[in-house]
Structure formats: structure tokens, C-alpha cells
């Protein structure tokens, strides 16, 4: 309880410091004045049709400690193992509240039967239902599940299929939402509300990657996620939802930073290693441009710079998937690996853009001390074929650098 109040107090201070946000696109002034539109709709797409089944009701119980209010709608779509999917409108739990067969006290708004929540169209359908039935000025979407960054997910069946990767593993359908499909989903969602989705939270492992962020950056303002494995109990929901109830005018930027702080407070207290960061998608274009400049120079001067690039890549901060590296740490190491003035300038431009892009970065643990907020695919042996299907690969020079400077061949 002391930890909770510490988080809330720190968050409140941040809310007061950062500016509030005005009414945003997709909501008319008349709607806002009438009270039919709340300040926030907070949605959790809870794909528990897998080995996380028991965690779903546990996190709903935490959400019920906050509950929806006159300022917020808190909504969950939960699909369980060997069971149907349900939609809940989360209300504050009272000691005497009756519970359903899943231990939930909140109102069940729909029993959907068995769903494939590894299908991105189900994610879009949940968002559409939320926006149409519980509209708000600002929207936060949480995707709750396993994650594998951009890569094929070995735990989702079809791992040999390059289109099966990323997030939302449904063990029943043996499907998951690929990175390109996540991009399609976010485009559809921004179309539904006629503006960018304010916050995308990925309560899943390994998802704070530049490849994933680039895929959704045109349709999302801020991304909250972890570069590495998330601890088992995942995101702390109560302090975040309490903030939107108590301070409904909180901006999406401030709430994203609060989310990172709450995550770090939760796991630092138990000395649990973790990473968590917030990415400002509006700054990703500048970062990619600077990174392309560095890659282009490295490719042009590859014979002279190859050794420095290889050594920097090999020494960079790595994560549970060993071909995922911290992008910021790689750039820092590369800038120190060679005295070439042009290389120094290119690295400095990337560093400057990177610092603007990462709004908050939280790490704990000796093995993660060089994590700086955004990971990148940086293999040392071969480049997976599936990497060519990503938007970041098509739009950037990163893969050309991997092949041309690091001399990596294409692999499975």
C-alpha cells in the first residue's frame, strides 16, 4: 500500500508539472460539453488463451480497484484458455460485490464465444466497439500477452511461417498478430476515431523496438513497452487508472511517462530486473533520417569502418533474444570506436534524435544497465528472411548496413 501511494504521489506531481491536453480531434465540442464523451477510454485487449490464463482475472481485479468513473471508461476484452471471450465495463470493486464465474465483479457487456485473438481484426473490432459505445477525448490501448518483438514467435504455432510473429499469441488458434498486421490494425483504429491513438501500451515482452514502433508510428502518439522480458505480473494498472480518474485532463505524454514510472516503482521495490520506456512516435522520422545518414556513410566507407562497426555491434547491450540490441548503446559504442570526424558527426546526429525520441527510460539490473530505451535487430551471423517484410526495412538503410558492412548473409 505504501508503494501504491508513493507511485500516485509522484504521478500527481508529474501531472501538475506537465501541461494538460485540450479536447482532441474525433470528438465534437458539443459532445464534450454534453458529457456523453468522457476524457479517457482505457482499453485492455487481454489475450489469455494461452499459458497466461490465470493472470487475466488477476489483472481485472487490479483494474477494479480503480474502476471507471465520470471521467473514464475502463474496458477489457478477455479471452481465456478453453473458454469464451468476454467484454467487461470495469467498475470499482466493493467488498460485498458479487462475482461471476471468473471472479469478476464488473458488468459483462458481451459474451463473444470463442475468438481468435491472434487475428488483428479482432483487435480492431474491440477498439471500434469501445470507441462507438464508450467514446472519449483520448484513447489508451493496452495489448496484453506474450511478445517476441518483430520476429517469428516460437511459442505461437506456425513459427516457420514468417507472417506469424510479434504479439498476442492465441494458443487455441495457433495464431498471433504480426508486426505488419499490427500496423494495419493501428491504421484502422486511427481511422475509426479520425486521429492518432493517444497511447499504445504493449504489456508483453520485447516490444519496444524501432521496427515495431516504425510500423505503427503514423497512427500512434506514444508507445509504452519493454525492450526485454517483462516480469511475470506485468504492468501495474491501478496507479495508471487512478491518475486518469483523479486528473482527467492529464495529457497523453504525461500519462505515458507516469506509466513508465509506475512500472519501474513496482519492480525496483522487489529488486526485479526490468526495462521500460516511452517512445514519442512524432520523433521517429527524425531518428530514422539520422540513422540512415549514419548507415549510408558506413556503407560508403565499409572497408575502413567495418571493424569498428563489428566490434561495436558485438559489444552492444543485448536482450533475451540475443540478436536484439539496444540502439542507443550501439551508437555510443560506435562513436567511441573510431576517431573519424564524419563518423563522429553522424553518430552525434543519431544521438540527438534518439534523445528526443525516448521520453522516459527505466532500467534495473546489472545485466541491463546499458539499455537506453529502443532496441533494434542487430544480428551477428545472418539476417532472417522475414526481416524484409517490415516497413522499417523497406523505408530505411538499416538492412543494407547489416548486409553490406557486417557482411551478413540471409538466413531462415
CA distance 340 to 220: 37
Grid coordinates standing for 224?
509504452
181 inside domain: yes
Domain boundary among 242, 265, 282: 282
CA distance 105 to 100: 6
Residues listed for the chain: 412
Residue 27 has pLDDT above 70, yes or no: no
Do 273 and 348 have their domain in common?
Answer: no
Do 289 and 275 have their domain in common?
Answer: no
- The torsion angles phi and psi of 255, rounded to 5 degrees, stand at -65, -35
Average pLDDT, the chain: 91
Do 73 and 110 have their domain in common?
Answer: yes
Q: In what order do the strands lie in the sheet with 165-170?
A: 147-152, 165-170, 175-177
pLDDT, position 90: 98
Domain boundary among 282, 303, 324: 282
Q: Is the pLDDT higher at 297 or at 168?
A: 297
- The torsion angles phi and psi of 171, rounded to 5 degrees, stand at -70, -25
Do 296 and 268 have their domain in common?
Answer: no
pLDDT, position 160: 40
C-alpha pair distances (Å), 162 with each of 103, 147, 176, 185, 186:
38, 15, 11, 18, 20
DSSP 8-state secondary structure symbol assigned to residue 23: -
Residue 402 has pLDDT above 70, yes or no: yes
Do 309 and 241 have their domain in common?
Answer: no
- The torsion angles phi and psi of 187, rounded to 5 degrees, stand at -65, -40
102 inside domain: yes
- The C-alpha R_g of the chain, in whole angstroms, comes to 21
15 confidence band (pLDDT: 50, 70, 90):
low
Q: In what order do the strands lie in the sheet with 38-48?
A: 107-113, 85-89, 72-80, 38-48, 136-144, 197-203, 220-225, 274-280, 358-364
Do 217 and 331 have their domain in common?
Answer: no
Q: Which CATH number do you get for residue 244?
A: 3.40.50.11970
- pLDDT tens, position by position, 337-364: 988 999 999 999 999 999 999 999 999 9
Domain boundary among 221, 248, 282: 282
- pLDDT tens, position by position, 232-288: 999 999 999 999 999 999 999 999 999 999 999 999 999 999 999 999 999 999 999
Q: Is the pLDDT higher at 14 or at 107?
A: 107
C-alpha pair distances (Å), 49 with each of 43, 146, 169, 198:
18, 11, 8, 27
Do 15 and 125 have their domain in common?
Answer: yes
- Per the structure, the complete domain to which residue 139 belongs is given by 2-282
Total number of domains constituting the chain: 2
pLDDT (mean) for 17-24: 53
- The torsion angles phi and psi of 397, rounded to 5 degrees, stand at -100, 10
Q: Do 370 and 376 touch, CB atoms closer than 8 A?
A: no
367 inside domain: no
Do 184 and 303 have their domain in common?
Answer: no
CA distance 139 to 200: 9
49 inside domain: yes
Do 208 and 326 have their domain in common?
Answer: no
pLDDT, position 310: 97
Please name which of 254, 277, 17 lies closest in space to residue 138, comparing C-alpha atoms.
254
pLDDT (mean) for 298-304: 97
Do 273 and 391 have their domain in common?
Answer: no
Do 209 and 177 have their domain in common?
Answer: yes
pTM exceeds 0.95:
no
pLDDT, position 361: 98
Do 275 and 315 have their domain in common?
Answer: no
Percent of the chain with pLDDT over 90: 83
CA distance 407 to 310: 10
51 inside domain: yes
Amino acid at each position: 500500500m505504501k508503494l501504491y501511494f508513493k507511485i500516485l504521489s509522484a504521478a500527481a506531481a508529474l501531472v501538475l508539472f506537465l501541461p494538460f491536453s485540450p479536447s482532441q480531434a474525433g470528438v465534437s465540442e458539443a459532445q464534450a460539453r454534453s458529457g456523453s464523451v468522457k476524457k479517457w477510454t482505457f482499453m485492455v485487449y487481454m489475450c489469455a488463451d494461452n499459458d497466461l490464463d490465470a493472470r487475466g482475472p488477476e489483472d481485472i481485479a487490479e483494474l477494479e480497484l480503480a474502476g471507471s468513473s465520470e471521467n473514464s471508461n475502463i474496458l477489457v476484452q478477455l479471452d481465456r484458455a478453453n473458454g469464451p471471450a468476454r467484454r467487461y465495463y470495469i467498475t470499482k470493486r466493493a467488498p460485498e460485490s458479487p462475482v461471476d464465474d471468473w471472479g469478476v465483479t464488473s458488468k459483462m457487456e458481451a459474451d463473444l464465444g470463442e475468438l481468435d485473438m491472434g487475428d488483428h481484426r479482432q483487435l480492431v473490432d474491440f477498439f471500434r466497439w469501445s470507441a462507438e459505445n464508450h467514446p472519449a477525448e483520448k484513447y489508451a490501448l493496452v495489448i496484453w500477452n506474450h511478445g517476441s518483438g518483430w520476429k517469428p514467435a516460437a511459442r505461437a504455432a506456425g513459427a516457420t511461417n514468417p507472417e506469424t510473429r510479434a504479439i498476442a499469441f492465441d494458443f487455441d488458434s495457433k495464431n498471433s498478430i504480426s508486426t505488419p498486421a499490427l500496423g494495419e490494425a493501428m491504421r484502422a483504429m486511427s481511422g475509426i476515431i479520425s486521429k492518432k491513438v493517444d497511447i499504445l501500451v504493449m504489456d508483453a515482452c520485447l516490444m519496444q523496438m524501432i521496427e515495431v514502433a516504425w510500423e505503427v508510428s503514423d497512427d500512434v502518439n506514444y508507445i509504452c513497452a519493454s525492450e526485454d522480458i517483462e516480469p511475470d505480473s506485468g504492468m501495474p494498472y491501478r496507479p495508471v487508472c487512478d491518475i486518469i480518474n483523479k486528473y482527467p485532463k492529464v495529457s497523453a505524454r504525461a500519462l505515458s511517462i507516469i506509466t513508465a514510472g509506475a512500472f519501474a516503482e513496482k519492480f525496483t521495490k522487489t529488486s526485479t530486473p526490468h526495462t521500460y520506456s516511452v517512445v514519442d512516435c512524432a520523433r521517429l522520422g527524425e531518428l530514422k533520417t539520422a540513422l540512415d545518414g549514419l548507415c549510408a556513410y558506413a556503407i560508403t566507407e565499409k572497408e575502413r569502418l567495418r571493424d569498428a562497426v563489428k566490434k561495436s555491434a558485438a559489444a552492444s547491450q543485448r536482450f533475451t533474444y540475443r540478436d536484439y540490441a539496444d540502439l542507443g548503446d550501439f551508437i555510443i559504442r560506435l562513436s567511441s570506436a573510431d576517431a573519424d570526424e564524419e563518423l563522429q558527426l553522424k553518430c552525434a546526429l543519431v544521438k540527438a534524435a534518439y534523445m528526443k525520441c525516448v521520453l522516459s527510460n527505466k532500467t534495473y539490473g546489472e545485466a541491463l544497465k546499458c539499455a537506453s530505451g529502443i532496441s533494434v535487430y542487430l544480428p551477428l551471423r545472418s539476417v532472417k528472411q522475414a526481416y524484409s517484410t517490415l516497413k522499417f526495412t523497406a523505408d530505411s538503410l538499416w538492412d543494407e548496413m547489416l548486409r553490406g558492412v557486417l557482411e551478413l548473409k540471409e538466413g531462415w
